[in-house]
Amino acid sequence: MLVAHGGVVDRVIVAALLVFAVATMARIRTQIAADAQAATLCLGLAFACNVALQAAGAVLLPGNLGQRLTVGLILGNRNVGLVWSALGAAASPRMALYFAATQLPIYILPRLIETLIGRDKRRARA
């Protein structure tokens, strides 16, 4: 069933992500402009935490490299969006800035992981 309706499911997910992004990022640009140093710190911390969790999963868990990196990716990309949504107005502006920063490694690092898995597969075939 999913294969037959995959395109529809993809469109719904993209629309939901777009609504989430627009709603949650509304005041983030103002915060970045007001305190670029804090924004840079939040971004660095977001990438560091994500990479550390991914690395821990990839190093500590069994399986081939592809399996370990996939599990590491799941560990690193914990769903802070749900936490952020649940906090609502209770989230401080700095907390919201950090949560916004955590979205970048979620979307950027999977491509890096895909590249590493591809290299490992090519090396295994050689």
pTM: 0.70
Q: What is the pLDDT of residues 81-97, one digit of tens each?
A: 777 777 777 878 888 88
Average pLDDT, integer, range 13-39: 82
Alpha helices for 1-126 (secondary structure H): 6-24, 28-34, 36-60, 65-76, 80-87, 93-125
Q: For residues 2 and 4, give the distance between their C-alpha atoms in angstroms, rounded to a whole number.
A: 5
pLDDT at 42 over 90: yes
